[in-house]
């Protein structure tokens, strides 16, 4: 703290996040004027005073401060404060304590009765998990969004409310005529509740978790609906049950359901996500349910033939999980993005699975095999994520700008020029050499490696961003290019004498262990030209 106070200029700091777990007494003047976002640590329990919190702070986060005693009449909050996050308060908040400038308020637990004039009249967003009780008209009419677990709030919803997130006990009805966005949970869905929904509803997200079937039939959902999410849904969906205006549909079937009798989807859907969970019996086989209007499709299924008739020619973006890929299947010629996660059995990618229109390809599983000769013909490919495999310099097409590789051993030599963003993943314990490997074109580099050995000349001269990820140690740091602007996860540097950072560097992120080792124990000095310093746990 003393070193921080001695800095000749602290006006460049706009965010401070105290992540220390030990008690820390913050002295007046420590937080410089100019800080706009301030987050306190777990043990913070000091009075909020004018000299402690500067007027520049717009966002104050005390959500981690379990011991904070709360806000009282003598608490001082500047009228510039717009967002306030609290964990709890040991006693009720006094009326008129919160500034009128406040627009967003979060309280995890308010074990008191909320009275009038506690909430500012201009408040727009309120997130309060639990509350003991509310007086009538204690919630301001200005509120547009509420998130809560408490059924106490249901009888006090403001008329102007347009977004409501509720994760408490069952609701029989919902009286909110102007509501456009609703997210809630239920274990006992009823037709009475769905019939009470606002006719202005545009987005609906429901997590059901019911163990008995609840079928969707025509007339249950508002015709105004455009976005629908059903999590842990157990039942059938009949024709015209989902309104014809719905463009986004996310269906996650419950694991208790193994048989599906009916699933009818409107032709208006453009983005479709279906997790069939453990369903294996369908009305017909192969199943054909995906509308021809869908352009963005995600399918998750353990069923054998679910892909055969469910990838229409309109699909531009396709994501598959657990699905088995038929050898003879061809994907749409307009397909631009293909992602494949965790096939239920080992598969081999064929040339007919990779249309030349692809610009993004992600194969994220060690059970996926792909011949290296299949990739160069993809002349429009920009982003590529490969499973663990042996690499070759001619693996990727020249069009590639973003590459993520998971290596089985040391890299075989230079990767193709033109790559701008490169991520290298390795779980090998022995050091991985990167000599003559990284293309000169790379501007952003992430090394997700336990042990990597870097030397002078390994990094491109024009590199702007470097992230060491989970690499804990480096012997030296003299190989950093003069162009570097962002450095993340600074490792512990074993070199002696001291190391220096490039004068071009603007942001530096490191763990507390790295900070203690590099700057406290070894006596290195953090450069004054940095614009952002972030120290995490």
pLDDT tens digits, 70-119: 776 667 889 999 999 998 888 889 898 899 999 999 999 899 999 999 99
Query: Is pLDDT above 80 for 365?
Result: yes
Residue 329 confidence class, pLDDT cut points 50, 70, 90: confident
By the 8 A CB rule, do 418 and 441 touch? yes
CA-based max dimension of the chain: 75
Q: Residue 464: pLDDT above 90? A: yes
Spatial distance between the Cα atoms of 120 and 184, rounded to a whole number of angstroms = 26
**Structure-model confidence comparison of residues 72 and 508, the more confident one:** 508
Q: What's the predicted TM-score (pTM) here?
A: 0.86
Q: What are phi and psi of 118, to 5 degrees?
A: -80, -45
Is residue 203 predicted with pLDDT exceeding 90?
A: yes
Within 81-200, where are the H helices? 191-195
| Lowest-pLDDT range of 281-285, 417-421, 521-525 | 281-285
Whether pLDDT at 480 is above 90: yes
Q: What percent of the chain has pLDDT over 90?
A: 55
Q: Which residue has the higher pLDDT, 424 or 6?
A: 424
Query: For the chain, how many residues are written?
Result: 537
* Enclosing H/E stretch for 272: strand 271-275
pLDDT score of 275 more than 80 = yes
Inform me whether the pLDDT recorded for 10 exceeds 60. yes
Strand 486-488 relative to strand 507-511, pairing: parallel
- pLDDT recorded at residue 227: 98
Exposed, middle or buried, 267 (CB in 10 Å: 0-12/13-18/19+)? exposed
**pLDDT tier for residue 524 given thresholds of 50, 70 and 90:** confident
Per-residue pLDDT at 345: 82
Rounded-to-integer distance, Cα 350 and Cα 369, Å: 9
Query: What secondary structure letter does DSSP report for 114?
Result: E
pLDDT tens figures, 46-58:
888 888 899 999 9
The per-residue pLDDT for 344 is 76
Q: What is the mean pLDDT of the chain?
A: 89
Mean pLDDT of 3-26: 73
pLDDT category, 498, cuts 50, 70, 90? confident
pLDDT of residue 252: 97
Helix (H) or strand (E) holding 182: strand 181-185
**% residues pLDDT > 70 (the chain):** 93
DSSP secondary structure code for residue 356 in this structure: T
Query: Among 130-134, 140-144, 299-303, 337-341, which is the least confidently predicted range?
Result: 299-303
315 in Cβ contact with 335 (< 8 Å): yes
Give the tokens for residue 218: 């025509």
């Amino acid at each position: 703290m003393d070193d921080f106070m001695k800095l000749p200029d602290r006006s460049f700091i706009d965010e401070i996040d105290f992540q220390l777990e030990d008690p820390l007494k913050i002295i007046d003047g420590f937080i410089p004027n100019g800080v706009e976002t301030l987050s306190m640590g777990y043990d913070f329990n000091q009075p909020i005073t004018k000299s402690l919190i500067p007027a520049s702070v717009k966002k104050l986060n005390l959500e981690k401060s379990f011991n904070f005693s709360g806000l009282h009449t003598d608490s001082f909050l500047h009228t510039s404060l717009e967002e306030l996050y609290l964990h709890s308060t040991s006693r009720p908040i006094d009326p008129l304590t919160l500034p009128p400038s406040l627009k967003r308020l979060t309280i995890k637990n308010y074990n008191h009765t909320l009275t009038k004039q506690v909430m500012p009249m201009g408040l727009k967003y309120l997130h309060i998990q639990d509350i003991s009780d509310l007086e009538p008209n204690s919630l301001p009419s200005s509120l547009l969004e509420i998130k809560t677990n408490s059924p106490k709030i249901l009888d006090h919803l403001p008329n102007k409310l347009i977004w409501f997130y509720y994760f408490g006990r069952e609701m029989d009805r919902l009286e909110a005529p102007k509501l456009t966005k609703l997210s809630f949970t239920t274990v006992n869905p009823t037709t009475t509740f769905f019939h009470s929904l606002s006719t202005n509803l545009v987005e609906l997200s429901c997590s059901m978790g019911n163990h008995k079937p609840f079928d969707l039939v025509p007339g249950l959902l508002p015709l105004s609906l455009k976005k629908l999410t059903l999590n842990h849904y157990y039942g059938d969906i009949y024709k015209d049950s989902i309104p014809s205006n719905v463009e986004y549909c996310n269906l996650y079937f419950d694991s208790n359901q193994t048989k599906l009798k009916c699933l009818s989807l409107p032709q208006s859907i453009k983005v479709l996500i279906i997790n069939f969970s453990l369903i294996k019996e369908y009305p017909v086989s192969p199943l054909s349910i995906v509308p021809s209007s869908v352009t963005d499709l995600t399918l998750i299924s353990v069923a054998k033939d679910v892909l055969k008739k469910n990838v229409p020619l309109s699909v531009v973006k396709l994501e598959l999980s657990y699905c088995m890929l038929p050898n003879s299947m061809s994907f749409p010629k307009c397909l631009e993005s293909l992602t494949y996660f965790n096939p239920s059995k080992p598969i081999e990618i064929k040339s007919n699975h990779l249309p030349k229109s692809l610009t993004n390809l992600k194969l994220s599983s060690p059970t996926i095999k792909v011949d290296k000769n299949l990739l160069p013909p993809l002349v429009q490919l920009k982003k590529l994520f490969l499973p663990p495999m042996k690499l070759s310099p001619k693996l990727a097409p020249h069009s590639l700008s973003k590459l993520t590789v998971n290596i089985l051993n040391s890299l075989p030599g230079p990767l193709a020029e033109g790559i701008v963003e490169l991520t290298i993943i390795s779980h090998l314990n022995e050091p991985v050499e990167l000599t003559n490997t990284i293309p000169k074109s790379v501007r952003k580099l992430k090394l997700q490696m336990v042990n990597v050995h870097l030397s002078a000349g390994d990094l491109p001269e024009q590199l702007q961003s470097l992230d060491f990820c989970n690499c804990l140690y480096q012997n030296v740091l003299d190989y950093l290019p003069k162009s570097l602007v962002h450095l993340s996860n600074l490792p512990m540097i074993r070199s002696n004498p001291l190391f220096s950072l490039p004068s071009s560097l603007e942001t530096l992120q490191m763990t507390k262990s790295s900070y203690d080792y590099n700057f406290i124990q070894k006596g290195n000095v953090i450069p004054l030209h940095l614009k952002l310093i972030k120290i995490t746990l």
